[in-house]
Structure 1
Amino acid sequence: MQLPTPAPGQKIAYSTDSLQFGELRLPQGKGPFPVVVVIHGGCWLAQYNYQYMNHLSAALTKAGYATWNIEFRRVGNPGGGWPGTFLDVAQGVDFVRQLARQYPVDSKKVVVMGHSAGGHLALWAAGRKNIAKTSELYTKKPLKVKGVVALAGIPDLASYAMAPGSCNSAVPQLMGGLPNEVPHRYASGSPMQLKPGSAIIRLVQGEKDPIVPVAQPQAFEEKIKRPYSEIQTVLLPNAGHFDLVAPTSPVWSTVEQVVKDVLRK
């Protein structure tokens, strides 16, 4: 079933580049509303943009959440790749504080949701406070997020980069090299090598995903478990890669429930 194109959100710039913006959607009512920051995937590459997450954003807004669907510079855009892609996402997430000054959104109830490569960036956003001050990715006082919902996320860039596949081959383009060439970059850019902080983490994964293997979330959960974070993999037996972002798919109710559960804790 093809959904009609959702009405656009309010386009708001979080910085000066033409790709540094987000679309804010607000539910009906007075608020303040919890916020889902939405980070799109597409192998970190310029040819894929934020618009494929519009249906997801509109569905979550209808369910009662403010959504902030962010765009950012990617591999192939001037300033994209290392470190620009990461710094844009950091700035976009932190901009929720600014939004809370003008709109009825609650900057203390924030879930970062990302799909695929965006799931990597969402998990990374949760661990930013543990980045060394010497890193190019370090920024002061990152927004504390309540949780992360990674939909087919890629937490381990190093292992993903070494596996065959077109999306896998984009990792060295993003990082400016393979793990053995720029290990310090993977240390601050791969969630697998960062402690995730206090965020609640849910790794939603389709077992039939041909792009991101089930081993990615499972290895991440096994490594970081408590005491660092509350983390759980949610396996969906009959789901593929894009079912997780389609409000018409049979697994969408599970995705919505995961968001609800994270914000309730």
Structure 2
Amino acid sequence: MSDQTPPRIFSPDRRKAIRQRAVALQARPDAAHFVLDDMVEDVIERLAFLRHEPESALIIGDWTGKLAGELAGRGCAVTQADPGALNNIPALDEEQPYPAGAFDLIVSLGTLDTVNDLPGALIHIREALADSGLAIASFPGAGSLPALRTIMMEADGDRPAARMHPMVDVRAGAQLLQRVNWASPVVDTHSIAVRYRSLHGLVDDIHAQGLGCALTSRAPMISREALERAEKAFAKLADNDGKVCETFEVLTLSGWKPKGGQFL
């Protein structure tokens, strides 16, 4: 790792506030949670395919508790953590060394796209694994929200603001895993397509799932005129049914800690 301090792109306070708002919004009966549900289901399928049956696991970011419940039902000792300290789940600073635990499985869901030192966070995960332990990290990838990006560019006109943060693509993910020395690394991605009848509905789903912008530099408030341009841009993208198809891309990084803890 470099001795240089990584640039402070993301605000830890905004990250925490975004996640806390999402959990509060989940009290609504119609609140969206399909991105996290998809990540949880994907992890369960991967564990079955790999025939990995952990005795101890650290689950980060699953404020639903679904994955923890599934693993606990299999006799796994589960530790939960979250950067937002949600639902009585202890807080975890992903940019600091993890508490000693030597976990057979570490799963991070929907949080690593907004850490300032992603290589460091991945190294902390690696170091917290037991020999032959598995790590799986899923988070929104670079192909996410193309429609909203187009809409906001048109809304801001000649003075575009940083309203959406940069995201990691498959190539960068592969380079990251090589850099941080995860063994037998695998990087893959898949997309979730959702159709929306209104811009308001799309933004509501983003807020309810904690997918908002956590950049340190806040963009200016959207003016009434800019909002009108955004609504017009949304209508321009709509299909014959009056709906816009938006994409949520899930990028997943996985790797192992070999027996003996020796990495190539």
| TM-score category of the 2 structures, normalised to the smaller one | 0.3 to 0.5
Q: Which has the higher contact order (CA 8 A, sep 6+)?
A: 2
The structure whose Rg is larger is 2
